[in-house]
Structure 1
């Protein structure tokens, strides 16, 4: 476990800051403070016991206090900015007390995060009053922008039958994927596999494949120079129009607008 995590909760009333120039591989853990993280120059995933949240560029994650989690990345990142807020700094009736998510980073918020780049450790009102007041202002900006989370959440499972099937879907997302073919490939009936998805994933097989395709396309939009059409075919769509429609349905933005706004 990363050494800085043992210091996050040492002072319950302080804001704790940790910036890292390299990606740290941290196992599942939790702490008594809320966590805000911004990944500079890459895309990442926030993982909990039951879900995986896609975390693109120009967005921050909010992890409520006490929520077991870790953050992983499929790409190299320039900097990871972590800010830990005491629970008492968030209004008791605000949704961020209990609910996490992925939210857009405004230009103002991004500049404020960068401003703290040389700060590390505890920031409190007794020893670093001006820095602490700056963090209170940053916190208020976070509360303002945390209205509409990015609606791309992929469920995960410990089910031993489903785990290799999910891995197969991710590794073959460019291919035609249908319930009957996957069921046959893994020695299951279509009916059994359909029930497993509904029970363990709380969504259908087709919904899971659709979400996985869209998440893969979001990664390619941000991390590659492929055209929108090339990305559509790379993610298993047989036409640009079908891809654009599915993307708009889930992300509420067109693929081209998503790329422009997040690069």
Structure 2
């Protein structure tokens, strides 16, 4: 199991980069140590892989275009393929740890275009509007699924039969999730085109964040009106286009503070803030500390880890 303290995004698409994802066995097991994040937030992203998670300790809030969910310790859930989502710590207490199974759904049937894939995989991954399935230990059936999810984390990677045993556990969980999804009576229809428009606008921001970006430009990129652009951001990301641009620029500034020795003025210019005073004001409002203090805290953390 790999311990992670942040994610990397593919610049062109906002898709999460999965460097240890190998197509001969497309699966990653991760432990998210939120307390080692200086800002305990996983920003908006998506990935083709599906996500199964279990909250080992603390509380985690997930947000998707259709809503927000709070997951306390002992609960878990499923995030569907290609779904935009973000997460953050939802508790003031220390010790928030999340365990993740990330895998390509093709792992279960052993390929595409076969009976298993058509009958059991695609009805879940292709279901319009299905973003999240929440699992609670209070429901006996869901508790059994949570136990299987946990059992997958306890397997010894590299041991004899590891891949077959893991795939069997994930398949059993998948069947349970499919039953839960099929049992829902609420119509959760959502226009698939909306997600593509959002990804196009988010990608434009990533490509041009160093420049002045007008909302009109974002709207043109997605072939929609300025009014619809504002509505889609609010409905899907629960923030305005300008708020998303500001958050993305701040995340890029954080990376430059950590990874470079550039001056605050240079970073402000690189990340599209215009002036260092404006950058400093926004940074303090978001992180409750100055850029200089943030850089010092990060360097102190790295120094303590290596001592």
* Structure holding more helix per residue: 2
Q: What is the TM-score when the length of structure 1 is the normalising length?
A: 0.48
Q: What is the TM-score when the length of structure 2 is the normalising length?
A: 0.42
Report 1 or 2 for greater relative contact order, CA contacts < 8 Å, sequence distance ≥ 6. 1
